[in-house]
Chain A
Amino acid sequence: MSGLIPLTMREIKKWYRNPTFFIVGLLQPLFWIALFGSAFDITRTAPQYSYYILQGAPNYITFIIGGIATTTALFTGMFAGMNIIWDRRLGPLGRFLASPIRRSSIVMSKVLGATVRIIVQIFILFLAALLIPSGLILPKNFNILDVLIIAVTVLLIGIFFASLFSAIAIRITRQETIMGIVNLVNLPLMFASYALFPKNLMAPWIGNIAQYNPVSWSAIIIRTIIINGKLSQAQWNTVLNNFVYLLLTTLFVVVITIILAEKEIRN
């Protein structure tokens, strides 16, 4: 895959060079924090039940940060797909396809580029959440292993979405089409999940669907760790189960994306 590294470098260069993309990308998670973390506090009307609603989290930001991180990955992941279509419309794709590089490296460079963005964004998100007053409160025994699990989860959900939207973009030639698809899937992915609300606040049918949503898996992993720090056996099992779902689903989507790219991408 001699194309993967130069093409990924290109993605990253284009991102940090474009001031709007860069700044918007960094502001977005901060808006999320401001909006969902404080303006939208679901415990406000019933503070006496807040411990129950928030599953033991000391405040709403701590509860929701895993969900915001995941939603950030969802929104940035779609850039991977959009950028494939831009490359097709503006011409560079023609050059890539004429070169002796693997077709999948063209698509996977978008996935990696978007994943790098996602990781930087989420890093800023956590940093900001820790710094603001009454923001993220980490558990006492929060350790490096917890950081590692959260980082890998973020990596996986980033790859998952970037790959998903890239696969969708492989045969699409119009920007409008992918925007339509993105708009169609983003809301259900976001709201039919445990990213923003706990299951016990949802209508039962959505709550049930939500357990099959990768957004939920990632949100649950981060949330469980960030609320509890030292996990009980049951909590470990929850984290482990969700992690395995996320890992397998991501691998599956990546494999499909690579196969589709090798076979189907054209100008």
Chain B
Amino acid sequence: MYSVETYNLTKIYSNGVKAVDKINLQINEGEIYGLLGPNGAGKTTTIKMLTTALKPTEGSAKVAGYDIVKESMKVRMNVGIVPQDLTADEDLTGMENLLMVSKFYNVPYGKAKENIDKLVKLVDLRDSINKLVGQYSGGMRRRLELIMGLVHNPRVLFLDEPTLGLDVQTRSLMWEYIRNIQQIENITIILTSHYLEEVDALSNRLSIINKGKIVVTGTPEELKKSIGGDIVVLTFKNGKEALQATDILKTYKASRITELSIKIKSSDFSKDSQTILGILKESNLEPLRIQVEKPSLDTVFLEYVGRSLPDEEGDSDSRKMMLMMRRLRK
């Protein structure tokens, strides 16, 4: 049985926007599954449907074995969610927030306290758990949000952009916590992100989602392999040689990228290098410099979506959002 399974899941908002378009997902138990896509791709809408906050327009889905429409209360009992927006009450302490959420799930006090203590330790919040959430830093708030979704020992955890607006160091710390949680709780985690490195670092499998549609699914390695292996940049003494090499290496999809250098594709350059350099030697060509670029999710994304993830833009967007939320609170 899959932990999450969707059949043509679709959401059309009342204003006609088709945010999610016939998505089919099969997520195994105990997996960290990434949904990678730019802003507006439909990630949050998908998560909202899977956590019963939104009703799908078409299609259906089962989460933890329960139908998201017909058995929505059971779904809610069995999933944890860390939404994109912060949800803790700033006028309460971290502990009070966690205990309140435990009560929503009828967790008895003793058990709740025990579970909370364990979670708080897990994300290093012990020193500040009895402070008002209003006094937390951005990173602390995100950590609190992370464990607020776990107080009732859910079987599936949804993380919607869990590191949005955090700086690089805090972000990699969050990744560590997420990995630990997955291992200790042995839980299925569905993670959305528009940060390539995040999905690459965390997920066992992922789907790239763009304009509401799933573009490709696989493990990060499979996806990287699928774009045809390594990208090799060869630099020559002069333009004439570079031109000549482009011609000779046609079978490797060679193309000029600067006056002196060409780019070729090789499924595995560590194996192909002998052959390639041999072919060049026959024509008396020897590259001055060889650079091998291992394929990254960046190149995968470029290949399947047709453009790069606007990471910078996304960053400033989320930062603006965080600022706005701060201001609102003051």
Contacts and interface: CB of A to CB of B under 8 A. Distances in A.
Interface in A98-151: 98-101
Contact of A92 (B88, B99, B325, B328): B88
Most chain B CB within a 10 A radius of its CB, from A18, A99, A267: A99
Given A13-B96, A90-B328, A99 B87 contact: no
A10 B81 contact: no
Interface in B36-67: 51-53
Contacts of B90: 90
Contacts of B86: 90-91
Contacts of B249: none
A175 to B, nearest CB: 10
A91 B103 contact: no
Contact of A100 (B77, B85, B328): B77
Contact of B100 (A10, A98, A100, A267): A10
B250 interface: no
Most chain A CB within a 10 A radius of its CB, from B81, B89, B105: B89
A91 B101 contact: no
A98 B106 CA distance: 15
Query: In the complex, which range does the number of interface residues on chain A fall in?
Result: 20 to 34
Contacts of B87: 91-92, 94-95
A10 B98 CA distance: 12
Contact of A94 (B52, B83, B329): B83
A232 interface: no
A90 B104 contact: no
Nearest to A14: B91
Interface residues of B, number: 28
Nearest to A96: B104
Contacts, number: 70
Contacts of A91: 83, 85-88, 325
A94 B87 CA distance: 6
B76 interface: yes
B73 A10 contact: no
Contacts of B103: 2-3, 5-6
A100 B76 contact: yes
Interface in B79-127: 81, 83, 85-92, 96, 99-101, 103-106
Nearest to B107: A2
A98 B76 contact: yes
A44 interface: no
A13 B92 contact: yes
9 contacts: A3-B104, A10-B92, A14-B92, A17-B91, A94-B83, A94-B85, A95-B148, A98-B51, A98-B53
**9 closest Cβ contacts across the A-B interface?**
A95-B87, A99-B104, A6-B103, A100-B76, A91-B87, A6-B100, A14-B91, A91-B86, A98-B81
Given A5-B103, A90-B86, A90-B329, 17 more contacts: A2-B104, A3-B104, A10-B96, A13-B96, A14-B92, A90-B89, A90-B90, A91-B85, A91-B88, A92-B88, A94-B53, A94-B87, A96-B104, A98-B51, A100-B73, A100-B77, A100-B104
